[in-house]
Amino acid sequence: MTSYLNAIILGIVEGLTEFLPVSSTGHLIIAGHLLDFTGPKAETFSIVIQLGAILAVVALYWPTFWGLVRPNERPFSGMRGLVLLFLTSLPAALLGLFAHSAIKEHLFSPVTVAFALAVGAVAILLVERMPAKNQVKGLDAITPTLALGIGCFQCLSLWPGFSRSAATIMGGMILGAERRTAAEYSFVAAVPIMFAATGYDMLKSWRLFSPDDFLILGVGFAVSFVSAWLAVKVFIALLGRLTLRSFAWYRLALAPVVLWIFW
C-alpha cells in the first residue's frame, strides 16, 4: 500500500508541476526524499511517469499533433512543423545524451535542486521586467530560428530544478514570442524531447523493475495524466491575466525551505 500511495503522490506532483515553470523533476526529487523513495529505481520511476503528463498534452492539443501527421493548410503542420520540433529538441537531446550519467550522478539531489529553483526564479523575474516584444503570436508564426533558439534555452532544463517549461517559455519570450504563444509551444515541444528521454532511460534502466513494479508505474502514469490535464487547462486560462512572477516568488520561497530540510 505504501508503494501505491507513493505512486499516487508522485503522480500528482509530476502532473501538477510538469508544465508549470516550477520544475517537476525538482519537486519529484524533493518529494522522493520526503517519502524515502530514492535511488536509481526512483529516478527512473520519476522519468517514466512523465509520459503520463506528456500524453495529457497530446490529448489536449490533438488537432495540432494530428496536423503533423496529416498536413493541413496551417503553417505549423506536416514536415514544416516536424522540422520546427526537431530543431527545438536537438540541442538538449545532444547535450543530454553526452551528459546523462553526469547529470544523474551529480545534479539529482535536493540541494542542487534548491539552487536551481532560486536561479530560475531570478531569471523569470528578470525576463518579466524586459520590454515585451510580442512579435510572434500563435504557433503558426514560429520560425526555424525561433525554434532553434528555444531549443538552446531548453538545455538549461537539464539542471534539475531549473524547469524545462520555465526555460522554454522564457527563451520564447526573450526571442520575441508573446507569453501565451511561448507557453503553448513549450507544451507541444515537450512531447518529442520527453518521449526521447523517457525511452532512453527505460532502455538503460528497465532491468531495475520487476513485473510487480509495472502496476505501480501504471498508477503513477494514470494519476500524472489526469493532474497534468487539469494543470495545463488552468495555466493557459490564467496566462491571459497573470505573469510568471507568482511562480518565481513561489520558487524563491521554496528554495530556502528545501535547503533547511536537506542541508
Burial (Cβ within 10 Å: 0-12, 13-18, ≥19) of residue 216:
middle
- Report pLDDT for 248: 95
Buried b (16+ CB within 10 A) or exposed e, 123-138: bbbebeeeeeeeebee
Cα–Cα distances (Å) from 47 to 137, 156, 171, in that order, read 32, 17, 23
Q: Whole-angstrom Cα distance, residue 73 to residue 170?
A: 29
Given the C-alpha cell 531495475, which residue does it identify?
208
- Report pLDDT for 1: 47
Q: Whole-angstrom Cα distance, residue 168 to residue 172?
A: 6
First to last CA, the chain: 30
- Report pLDDT for 102: 82
Q: In which region does residue 161 sit, left (phi positive, over 0), alpha (psi from -120 to 50) or beta (all else)?
A: left
- Which three three-digit cell numbers place residue 243? 505573469
Number of folded domains that form the chain: 1
Domain coverage including residue 209: 4-262
Instruction: Please give the radius of gyration of the chain, using alpha carbons only, rounded to the nearest integer.
Output: 18
Per-residue pLDDT of the chain in tens (263 residues, 90 and over written 9): 458 888 999 999 999 998 899 988 788 888 888 888 887 777 778 878 888 998 999 999 999 999 999 988 899 999 999 999 999 999 998 998 888 778 877 787 888 989 999 999 999 999 999 887 778 999 999 999 999 999 999 999 888 889 999 999 999 999 999 999 999 999 999 998 888 877 777 777 777 777 777 888 889 999 999 999 999 999 988 877 788 999 999 999 999 988 888 87
